[in-house]
Structure 1
Amino acid sequence: MINTPGEFYDIGKKARDLLHKDYAHQPRVPIHFDYRSLKSNTDISCRVKDIVPIVPELNTLFSFVTPNSGKVELEYLNGLAGISGGIGLIQNDALRRFEPIANLSGVIGRGALFSFGTDLAFDIYTGQFNKFNAGLSLNSDFVNTSLSLDGLDSLKASCHCLVNPLTKTAIAAELKHSFSGNNTALVIGAQHAFAPSTLVKGRISTHGKVGALIRQGLWERIFLSLSGEVDFTDTNPNATLKIGLSLAVRLQMSII
């Protein structure tokens, strides 16, 4: 199911963004270059706050990943807790059709030192749950740690440490164990802003993959990212360097 920017998605988000966001290997990176192919998709999401004047805590969230999926959610935030529910369509490549998915997630302790949440997805077409995630996090101004269980198949622990807020210098690590594959992977990365609008990131994993990224702010809310990744364990003579290019536009509107 697509990741609408809800409250549960914020658990472990800082480490996940540093280690994975905008890198070339991402399945949903907006543009992915390869000398044999060119793949692209568009990821659009937005949040409309206070849709009902008498219920100021009620928000609407929309997300579209063309041509793969789309989703709409209602989110209620009250104090330290938040709950959201929605319905969407996700593409089934094997059967060449779109299937309706219902989603429910909730977080207790949002914005607090300690938070806990869960995320469920129900496939309406098959009548089965296709996702069950749970996570908890410890949050502070400089250190964020999280532990999450993804689909009862993998356990992931992550840590994000902000070294220098002025230069956005930070380090992060993610340790993930897959029960079905019986394997464990560790990813370590760091980022640093050489200028207010120029951010550089790098990472390395125990699977032999090394990646680097540079993100340039073009205007106040428009960012261009260029990334590359090398797999040193790939013995395929036709293996190539992965290059990714992404463009992000962040808009914020207030409707009176």
Structure 2
Amino acid sequence: MGKGPGLFSNIGKKARDLLTKDYSHDQKFAVTTYSEDGLGITSTGMNKGGLFCGDIDTHYKYQNSTINVKVDTNSNISTTITIDEVLPGAKTVLSFKLPDEKSGKLDFQYSHEHVGLSSSVGLTPKPQVDFSGAIGSDVFTVGGEVGFDTSSGLFTKYNGGIGITKPEFSAAILFADKGDTLKASYLHELNPITKTCFAAEISRKFSANQNTFTVGSSYALDPLTTMKTRLNNHGKLGTVLQHEWKPKSLITLSSEFDTKALDKSPKIGLALAFKP
């Protein structure tokens, strides 16, 4: 797919990833193996809130198609079939989970030089229908999304936003939660050599009369090690230290401190990902 506005979900993604990605408080371990015929298996274990859970994700790629089958500790089987370039610039995704017969869903995505579209339809007699669209270019994007529940006849969401993306910065304004939340974000790349970035986001929730302001940064200590920090106006300080100890294999240590309650123990997360 060529350059273009991308999908609506990409608006504000750079700042959102810097402020939220890899900030986990769980202990997680993942091992991925590959075979020469395109078969990959990922085994994941997680200690979440004192409870251990895990899953096995099998993925097979053939030409422009990928099949993923995931089995978790509760014996749920999730299957996703992805076909890229079913039409030029288009992708189709079929997903369902067993034994939940109402979980079937068909997604369609289309990216063009000046438009990005995404739709999702539940495979039930009265499905949930979602649609999003973005128009513009790889520099300026305006878009929105809407969700409709045909069983109740009610809209489940209607959001919108605009975004500007340049090599050195990106900015976005988003209306979320059916217009109840306004978010404005900005990311600036200070030094491309050390991958030093700064991001800020202000969120206003009108129904609660509450503002949240978050700032964060990312800095490469060396070519294989990155450190991220974030702090919001509620006193929550988060850090992430990630090291690529071999190609595509990562160890990530994250923490969160409440600077307004230093007597409380910090939340610590550890994630190991191994890909031979």
Say yes or no: TM over 0.5: yes
Q: What is the percentage of aligned positions where both structures have the same residue? A: 36
Provide the C-alpha distance between the structure 2 equivalents of 1:185 and 1:65, rounded to a whole number of angstroms. Answer: 36
Alpha-carbon contact 1:217-1:224 (below 8 Å) kept? yes
Which residue of structure 2 aligns with residue 14 of structure 1? 14
Provide the C-alpha distance between the structure 2 equivalents of 1:147 and 1:191, rounded to a whole number of angstroms. Answer: 22
Alpha-carbon contact 2:25-2:254 (below 8 Å) kept? no
Which residue of structure 2 aligns with residue 56 of structure 1? 88
Choose from 162, 187, 210 the match for 1:183. Answer: 210
Segment of structure 1 superposing worse, 6-15 or 123-132 = 123-132
Alpha-carbon contact 2:220-2:227 (below 8 Å) kept? yes
Provide the C-alpha distance between the structure 2 equivalents of 1:63 and 1:17, rounded to a whole number of angstroms. Answer: 25
Alpha-carbon contact 1:200-1:214 (below 8 Å) kept? yes
Provide the C-alpha distance between the structure 1 equivalents of 2:188 and 2:17, rounded to a whole number of angstroms. Answer: 13
SS, match of residue 181 in structure 1: coil
Provide the C-alpha distance between the structure 2 equivalents of 1:245 and 1:169, rounded to a whole number of angstroms. Answer: 23
Deviations 1:151-196 (A, max 9, x none): 2110000000011122211000000000011011100000111122
Which residue of structure 2 aligns with residue 149 of structure 1? 175
Which residue of structure 2 aligns with residue 77 of structure 1? 111
Choose from 212, 229, 232 the match for 2:239. Answer: 212
Deviations 1:128-151 (A, max 9, x none): 211111110111000100000002
One-letter amino acid of the structure 2 residue matched with residue 143 of structure 1: F
Deviations 1:34-93 (A, max 9, x none): 5xx237677988964202xxx31211246799999885411112221111111359xxxx
Which residue of structure 1 aligns with residue 38 of structure 2? none
SS, match of residue 14 in structure 1: helix
Which residue of structure 2 aligns with residue 95 of structure 1? none
One-letter amino acid of the structure 2 residue matched with residue 116 of structure 1: V
Considering only aligned residues, what root-mean-square deviation do their CA atoms show, in Å?
A: 3.5
Provide the C-alpha distance between the structure 1 equivalents of 2:96 and 2:199, rounded to a whole number of angstroms. Answer: 29
Give the structure-2-normalised TM-score: 0.69
Give the structure-1-normalised TM-score: 0.74
- Gaps spanning 5+ residues in structure 1: where? 1-5, 90-98, 251-256
Which residue of structure 1 aligns with residue 192 of structure 2? 165
Which residue of structure 2 aligns with residue 243 of structure 1? 268
Choose from 38, 42, 48 the match for 2:51. Answer: 38
SS, match of residue 190 in structure 1: strand
Q: Which has the larger radius of gyration?
A: 2
CA gap of 1:225–1:206, structure 2 versus 1, over 3 A, is same
SS, match of residue 130 in structure 1: strand
